[in-house]
Amino acid sequence: MHAGRPVSHRGELDHIAFPVNLLCGFAPFIAFVVLSRLSISLALWTALAVAFGLGLPVFLHTRTIRTLDGGGVALFGICAILSGVFPALSNFNTVRFVVILGMLATVLTSFALRAPFAGQYAADEPDLARGVWPISAAWAFAFAIMSVADALATYVHMTPERAVVLVNLAALVAATTFTVRYTAALRRKTV
């Protein structure tokens, strides 16, 4: 490993390029969102399994844990266990709020460690190094907006569920669009 260069998280079978590999890092969250209307318990345990499944090969190859993988395992594992103990964590709005706050905390933790989470997915592409801060910030902003919307849904019962879903969807689409377009712009500049 070269001094100052981030650790590569690519394994022999991991040939997915940035930003698609970054977006795949959100698969546990997506699994939770898709399954949560069917069953909170199923959604949490599935998200835990997906986070573990994404993180294990990287850990076995590099002996490091990416922020989204470690955060996902911790967040969904703790929520899955506690949902069986605390009835409040079986309420859809409460669990969704806790999960989104957990995702925001995970992303913000990467900033506190001065290693924005997007950099772990772009480590093999040094030309994108300067883009990881804005991309990580876009996701932090999206989760912050979603946290506010879900706080309203959880604590202000007059908040229309449809509005919360639309705000959350718009925040995710905006962060995804920014990630893809900003990465493309950075690649055009380096060519």
- Please list the pLDDT of the chain residue by residue as tens digits (191 residues): 444 555 555 554 456 788 888 999 999 999 999 999 899 999 999 999 999 999 998 888 888 889 999 999 999 999 999 998 988 888 888 999 999 999 999 999 999 999 999 998 888 888 888 889 999 999 999 999 999 999 998 898 888 989 999 999 999 999 999 999 999 999 888 76
Cβ neighbours of residue 12 closer than 8 Å, sequence gap 6 or more: 61
- For the entire predicted model, the pTM comes to 0.86
Q: Where are the alpha helices (DSSP H) in 36-160?
A: 40-62, 67-83, 92-112, 132-155
Q: How far is CA 176 from CA 4, 30, 49, 67, in A?
A: 28, 13, 23, 18
Q: Which pLDDT belongs to residue 118?
A: 92
Query: CB 91: neighbour CB atoms within 10 A?
Result: 15
Q: How far apart are CA 11 and CA 60, in angstroms?
A: 9
9: tokens are 């998280």
